[in-house]
Structure formats: C-alpha cells, structure tokens
Amino acid sequence: MTFKKAIITPPPDKAILTAIRDAGFHGIEANWMDAAGPVISRAEAESVRDIARELGVEIHCMLCGW
C-alpha cells in the first residue's frame, strides 16, 4: 500500500499548486466553503481542477464546513 500526503488549502492558483506539489504533497483537500456558501464560482473551481490535473495534483475532497 502506498500512502499519499495532502494539505488543506483555500482556493489555490497555479503557483500555489506547484509549490504544494514541489513540497512533496500528492493532493489537496479543497476548503472552498464558508458559512455563507461557496467562496469561488463553478468556473473558478473548474479552472483549479484543470490546473491540478496538468500538474498531477489530486483534489481528493472538497470541505464544506466542519
């Protein structure tokens, strides 16, 4: 079995995702919600998804509050 590392992050851009990957993390837990609802639009989320795929970073969950 292979263990992977992820980090919780607010909506990242390409520079942040690159830094996360270069630091040895395999993915992120996307914290894109607050008490009022989503903090980014669907189009922004899709852009982050595309960048993550390009960089090989997995978005393995979206946190929707605690």
pLDDT in the model for residue 10: 84
Which tens digit of pLDDT belongs to each residue from 8-43?
A: 888 889 999 999 999 999 999 988 777 777 778 889
The reported pLDDT for the residue numbered 32 is 79
Whole-Å CA distances, 51 to 22, 33, 34, 65:
14, 20, 23, 24
Between 46 and 32, whose confidence is greater?
A: 46
Domain ranges of the chain: 6-63
* CA 21 to mean position of chain CA atoms: 11
**Which pair of structure tokens corresponds to residue 18?**
């690159």
Helix, strand and coil in the chain, % to nearest 5 = 35, 30, 35
> What letter would DSSP give residue 26?
-
What pTM was computed for the model? 0.80
